Chains A and B, each alone.
Chain A
Amino acid sequence: MDWNTVLLLLDSTIRTATPLLLACLAGLFSERAGIFDIGLEGKMLVSAFLAAGFAYVTGSVWLGLLAGIAGSLLLSAIHGAASITFRGNQLISGVAINFLASGLTVVVSQSWFGEGGRTPQLGDGGRFGEVVLPGAIRLSEMTIREQRELPLLTRFYSDVLSGHSILTYIALLAVPLSWWVLYRTRFGLRLRAVGENPAAVDTAGISVRRLRYSAVAIAGVLCAIAGAQLSTAEPAAGFIRDMTAGRGYIALAALIFAKWRPWPALGACMLFGFFQALETRPDIFVRLFDLRVPSALLSAMPYILTVIILAGFVGRAIPPRAGGEPYVKER
Chain B
Amino acid sequence: MTKFTTLLGASAALALVAGAALAEPAIIFDLGGKFDKSFNESANAGATRWAEETGETFAEFELTAEAQREQAIRRFAEQGKSPIIMVGFMSATPLNEIAPDYPDTKFVIVDAVVDQPNVRSVVFNEHEGSYLVGMLAAMASQTGTVGFVGGMDIPLIRKFGCGYAQGVMAANPDATVIANFTGTTPAAWNDPAKGSELTLAQIGQGADVVYAAAGGTGVGVLQTAADENILSIGVDSNQNYLHPGQVLTSMVKHVDNAVYEAMKAGEAVETGTQVMGVANEGVGYALDDNNASLITPEMKAAVDEAAAKIASGEIEVHDYSADESCPAIQF
A residues bordering B, Cβ < 8 Å?
Answer: 4-5, 8, 12, 15-16, 19, 103, 106, 110, 114-118, 121, 230, 234-238, 240-243, 245-246, 276-277, 280-283, 295-296, 299
Complex Cα–Cα for A5 and B216 (A):
28
Shortest Cβ gap from A119 to chain B (Å): 11
Q: Are A295 and B181 in contact (CB under 8 A)?
A: yes
Q: Tell me if B219 counts as interface (CB < 8 A to partner A).
A: yes
CB of B288 within 8 A of chain A? no
Q: Are B180 and A115 in contact (CB under 8 A)?
A: no
Residues of B within 8 A of A (CB): 32-37, 40-41, 64, 153, 178, 180-181, 183-184, 187-188, 190-194, 196-201, 204-205, 216, 219-220, 223-224, 227, 242
Bound Cα distance from A186 to B184, whole angstroms:
46
What are the residues of chain A within 8 A of B41 when measuring CB–CB?
116
Q: Which of B183, B191, B192, B201 contacts A281 (CB 8 A)?
A: B201
Asked whether A299 lies within 8 Å of B183 as measured between CB atoms, the reply is yes
Q: Find A4's partner among B34, B204, B216 (CB 8 Å cutoff).
A: B204
In the complex, the chain A residue whose C-beta lies closest to that of B179 is: A282
Q: In the complex, A15 Cα to B153 Cα: how many Å?
A: 24
Query: Would A117 and B205 count as touching, CB distance under 8 A?
Result: no
A118-B178 Cα distance, complex, nearest whole Å: 29
B219 touches A240 (CB 8 A): yes
B180 touches A235 (CB 8 A): no
Contact A236 B201 (CB under 8 A): no
Query: What are 26 contact pairs spanning A and B, CB under 8 A?
Result: A12-B201, A16-B193, A106-B33, A110-B33, A114-B35, A116-B36, A117-B33, A118-B216, A121-B223, A235-B196, A235-B200, A235-B220, A235-B227, A236-B192, A236-B223, A240-B192, A240-B216, A243-B192, A245-B194, A277-B201, A280-B197, A282-B180, A283-B178, A295-B180, A295-B181, A299-B184
**In the complex, how many angstroms separate the beta carbon of A237 from the nearest chain B beta carbon?**
5
Q: Would B187 and A242 count as touching, CB distance under 8 A?
A: yes
CA distance A117 to B35 in the complex (A): 8
Judge whether A245 and B191 touch: CB under 8 Å.
Answer: yes
A110 to B29, CA, bound (A): 15
Cα-based distance from A64 to B201 in the complex (angstroms): 29
B198 touches A240 (CB 8 A): no
Q: Chain B residues with Cβ under 8 A from A15's Cβ?
A: 197
Nearest-Cβ distance from residue B35 to partner chain A, whole angstroms: 4
Residues of A within 8 A of B204 (CB): 4-5, 8
| A8-B204, A116-B32, A121-B223 as given contacts; A241 in contact with B216, CB under 8 Å | yes
Question: What is the CA–CA distance of A133 and B35 in the complex, to the nearest angstrom?
Answer: 40
Question: Roughly how many angstroms separate A156 CA and B32 CA in the complex, as a whole number?
Answer: 40
Check B190 against A243 for contact (C-beta < 8 Å). yes
A241 to B187 alpha-carbon distance, docked (Å) = 10
Chain B residues with Cβ under 8 A from A234's Cβ? 227
Give the chain B neighbours of A12 by CB distance below 8 A. Answer: 197, 200-201
Q: How far is B194's CA from A230's CA once the two chains are assembled, in angstroms?
A: 10
> Which residues from chain A contact B33 at a C-beta distance below 8 Å?
106, 110, 116-117, 241
**Contact indicator A121/B242 (Cβ below 8 Å):** yes
Give Cα distance in the complex from A232 to B187, angstroms. Answer: 20
Chain B: CB-nearest residue to A299: B183
Rank and list the top 8 A-B pairs by shortest CB-CB distance, nearest first. A116-B33, A116-B35, A280-B201, A235-B196, A245-B191, A8-B204, A245-B187, A240-B216
A277 near B223: Cβ-Cβ < 8 Å? no
Contact of A236 with B187 at beta-carbon distance under 8 Å, contacts A5-B204, A280-B180 already known: no
Q: A116-B35, A283-B205 given as contacts; is B223 within 8 A of A237 (CB)?
A: yes
| 19 extra interface residue pairs, beta carbon distance < 8 Å, beyond A114-B35, A240-B190, A240-B219 | A8-B200, A16-B193, A19-B193, A103-B64, A115-B35, A116-B33, A116-B34, A116-B36, A118-B219, A121-B219, A237-B223, A238-B219, A245-B193, A276-B194, A277-B197, A283-B178, A295-B180, A295-B183, A299-B184
- B153, B190, B193, B196: most-surrounded residue (chain A CB, <10 A): B193
Q: How far is A236 from B82 in the complex, measured between Cα atoms in Å?
A: 43
The complex places the Cα of A15 from the Cα of B194 at a distance, in Å, of: 11
Hey, which chain B residues are within 8 Å of A121, CB to CB? Answer: 219, 223, 242
List chain A residues, Cβ under 8 A from B224: 235
User: In the complex, which residue of chain B has the Cβ closest to the Cβ of A16?
Assistant: B197
Q: A241-B190, A241-B216 given as contacts; is B197 within 8 A of A8 (CB)?
A: no
Contacts of A277 in B (CB 8 A): 197, 201
* Cβ-defined contact, B205 with A276, below 8 A: no
